[in-house]
Chains A and B, each alone.
Chain A
């Protein structure tokens, strides 16, 4: 069982906080048992690289989904998002309260890239179209070779005109990473992006991913249960602790960072 760890990277004080959460709770219930994720305080600065490492079922996806505005917090003391240095923070909690799903979608479209554990590609679109999905929605030009270059970096350039069904799992993950980065978001959220791959491929793709994020200067949050090689990448780890009540009915994970 993982336990709380000190921050691996010192946090500069003059940072702009891209995420600022206080007392955010999400409860999930299923067949008599309940799970609760509690975030007393979480601050993520722009440009930071964050790792969320924990065993299966501890609530990593729950947290990341909330950070990507695709899962509504049950309660939130404060939930602020500041993707632009020059703009005021955006009150995400208020958007959820007012059911402004489209507004949240617009924020996602512009500022967030999301890589899932598997898949997440649109089967009827070619690799190129999948990677251009957000770019097209944002009406970004598609003649500037950005997608091609990214594909080259990811080693999937020769697959650009194929459909996802014709790719291996690892190649699909590379496409998913490409899609999350193609529109130059402020932050990339990756939920165990390499979990479905063999350890060697996983390490290779993870290294590539972090390298690209570094190069593009994008904030990143990556969830993983493979602690070993994440450590080598020098990411700041969020600390968390999981407890179960004595009757075993409620599991609670508390995340801070």
Chain B
């Protein structure tokens, strides 16, 4: 133990006494590492917020059925069970999926499309309420503005049909449970439970809707849905789901390609970054290694004196290793300082284009740790060569150096 602590103390003193040389290596390291951290911070910040946006916008996980297909309830239920599916609701025929809405406070009567929703709908997630039953509705912001209503209000919904030669109209009191902001959906529309959509379709088709007391003929057999709304569990599931469904002959549309573009960009930029990082760190390690090797030759005599007084081979190897670890540590510290300074300026420059809390250039704590570990590893590897050289010095040779 005395050996280790003495090796530590002496190499530290040597390092401090040669502060000019030590300092220039610290600066050289920071000059390589600092910009590298800024570069990675930019990559991480820019691509990271792009990926974040992708992940957080549920529309990117949407798998939309296209055209008119034929899906039955067992198929829908089977899909809902899949681990890569977060949410699925069947939709009824588009032509029968609309409704006239009116409110007491507005003189406008609007016709909105009805979108099926239900428990677990990722699009409405976070709004605090979902429509259920035949008397609840979620209005899009545009529709709510026209009707001049807010959540909690009750509006009138009506549908009309020609049945047995005469026009009929049914009215429903609908409670607006929540208003979906335009950022989520920017058309005049309403989200309703599948039950309500089916009732509307049945009514239009002249079928009886027992639950609402609407008269008509008995519905024939099993219901076939022309489409569905599906959300994959994660972004990564989208492409596979799309591929599988197309293979099954279903027509679907996703944003898989947009996702792929961002992901490719992320991957390629990461690759470019690593190439730069490896070249930079390797260059630094080489120059540090060469200088430590030269150092050992320069300090042959001192190292011999240390061997003479009884330092072990291992202690002698420790000298250049400890010194380059000091360099790595302080250089990393300085580089982190450079990063904080530069990233502050960059983020300030882009502040106008950024949302609150977003940054163009940022790193996570673990990135700093990785940078430190890589730097120390490079420094230790560089120093090993010098250390081995130092350990081979025969004391009697070194002592009598001219």
Most buried by B among A61, A106, A125, A129: A125
Sort chain B's interface into a size bin. 20 to 34
Q: How far is the CB of A116 from chain B (nearest CB, A)?
A: 6
Q: Which residues of A contact B305 (CB under 8 A)?
A: 120-122
Q: Is the CB of A125 within 8 A of B10?
A: yes
Q: Which residues of B contact A61 (CB under 8 A)?
A: 400
Sort chain A's interface into a size bin. 20 to 34
Q: Is the CB of A70 within 8 A of B2?
A: no
Q: Which residues of A contact B313 (CB under 8 A)?
A: 101-102
Q: Is the CB of B312 within 8 A of A120?
A: no
Q: Is the CB of B306 within 8 A of A70?
A: no
Task: Report Cα–Cα, A136/B4, bound state, in Å.
Answer: 11
The answer, among A102, A116, A133, A139, for a CB contact under 8 Å with B312, is A102
Q: Which residues of A contact B307 (CB under 8 A)?
A: 70, 105
Q: Is the CB of B13 within 8 A of A68?
A: no
Chain B proximity mask over A26-60: 1 for CB below 8 Å, otherwise 0:
00000000000000000000000000000000000
Q: Which residues of A contact B77 (CB under 8 A)?
A: none
Q: Is the CB of B2 within 8 A of A138?
A: yes
Task: Report Cα–Cα, A121/B301, bound state, in Å.
Answer: 9
Q: How far is the CB of B395 from chain A (nearest CB, A)?
A: 4
Q: How far is the CB of A195 from chain B (nearest CB, A)?
A: 13
Is the C-beta of B219 less than 8 angstroms from some C-beta in chain A?
no
Considering the complex, which residues of chain A in the window 122-140 have a beta carbon less than 8 Å from any beta carbon of chain B?
122-125, 129, 133-134, 136-139
Task: Report Cα–Cα, A71/B17, bound state, in Å.
Answer: 31
Task: Report Cα–Cα, A241/B346, bound state, in Å.
Answer: 81
Is the C-beta of B3 less than 8 angstroms from some C-beta in chain A?
yes
Is the C-beta of B125 less than 8 angstroms from some C-beta in chain A?
no
Residue of B nearest to A138 (CB): B2
Considering the complex, which residues of chain B in the window 265-321 have a beta carbon less than 8 Å from any beta carbon of chain A?
301-302, 305-314
Task: With A122-B10, A124-B14, A124-B17 as known contacts, state yes or no: A134 contacts B309, CB within 8 Å.
Answer: yes
The answer, among B6, B314, B399, for a CB contact under 8 Å with A120, is B399
Chain A proximity mask over B12-48: 1 for CB below 8 Å, otherwise 0:
0110111000000000000000000000000000000
Q: Is the CB of A106 within 8 A of B310?
A: yes
Give the 4 A-B residue pairs with the shortest CB-CB distance, closest first.
Answer: A109-B310, A124-B17, A70-B395, A71-B396
